[in-house]
Amino acid sequence: MLLMIYMSTLIILISNIMMFLSIILSKKTFSDREKSSPFECGFDPKSLARIPFSIHFFLITVIFLIFDVEIALIFPIINLFKFTNFIILTKTSFFFFLILLLGLYHEWNQNMLNWTN
């Protein structure tokens, strides 16, 4: 047990030293107008290169990713039917689905699922 504590302390110490050294030794660059402007064959751009991004589209994408990850968490539950007690698995699955449904209800209540706002 004491060996594990020493090893974990040593690993944390080495990783902190490496992060500190990378911050100190990293090349600092200062951006100027030429470096931050878009490049179009050596000419100035004809239109605004940084178009506004739809926040609503971004939120829909984040909601999709969250529910997609949760679906990936549901798949292993099928394999657990062989190894666990049915009542415990049912309660755990019900609790997980309840959290999913409450999240979906909250998104719906906040009008985040309506595409045309």
The domain segmentation of the chain, as residue ranges, is 47-109
Q: What is the pLDDT of residue 44?
A: 62
CA dihedral (18, 21, 27, 32) positive or negative:
positive
Residue 40 has phi, psi (to 5 degrees) of: -125, 85
Distance of CA 107 to the CA centre of its chain: 18
Q: What is the Cα–Cα distance from 38 to 50, expressed in whole angstroms? A: 9
pTM comes to 0.46
What are the pLDDT digits (tens) for 58-88?
A: 777 888 888 788 888 888 887 877 888 888 8
